[in-house]
Structure 1
Amino acid sequence: MASAVASLGAKTTTQNRREWPRYQAEKNFALAARVGGKLLPCTVADVSLGGARVVFDSEVAVGETFELSHTGGEAVVCARVWQSSREVGIEFDFSEESLGLISVCIRSIVDLEPQTAG
């Protein structure tokens, strides 16, 4: 899957500490995050096979894990790697649900249509 994703030609960012290419959001993609019993809307800023950066409209309570979900998909438990007031860096496991969410995120935030010169 990594080679298929890497061959998309989308804008990626790779830093030395990252194991997989990170895909910057070219389009808005909303998710819901269950944090401390509350369901909060968030958007995906970037995503890779290993994790993502999600942005919230307001400050988010500090915690170790939370659940992300999208319309039509099962909730995925994610581990927080870092957090600022409105952004959270998360790490995915490689469960079937996580891989499904990663796939949906990449397809939803990256323009997969070939660019035509003109």
Structure 2
Amino acid sequence: MPSRPARPCKHRGCRALVAGGKTYCDAHAAEEVKWKPDAERGNRHARGYGTYWQKLRTMVLARDCYICRCAECRRLGRVREATEVDHVQPKSQGGTDDPANLSAINHDCHKRKTATEKAAR
């Protein structure tokens, strides 16, 4: 059986080809988010993202006027639409769901911030 053809790395602008089941080249492997099934990590309610979180999320997005408040956007003076809510201090590092620890963030900024935090661990 022939092997699967190589595909381009998913990192924006990277032209390296990756083979097999990989999605990122070796230089960008840290950007890959490896999702675990709900049976292993628990469903959204078990992880604390149930109905209460949805109401809190809506409140934070409205408070921040649906504008990305990530550090990079603020530093560059960039205005981007926020579609997600981020924990400034991650829950895995002792952060809470207190509105003071939450900020509105753009999807791409959130992916970049999460990948940076994972690489730092």
TM-score (norm 2): 0.28
Bigger strand share: 1
Bigger helix share: 2
TM-score (norm 1): 0.29
The structure whose Rg is larger is 2
The one of the two structures with greater contact order (alpha-carbon pairs below 8 A, sep at least 6) is 1
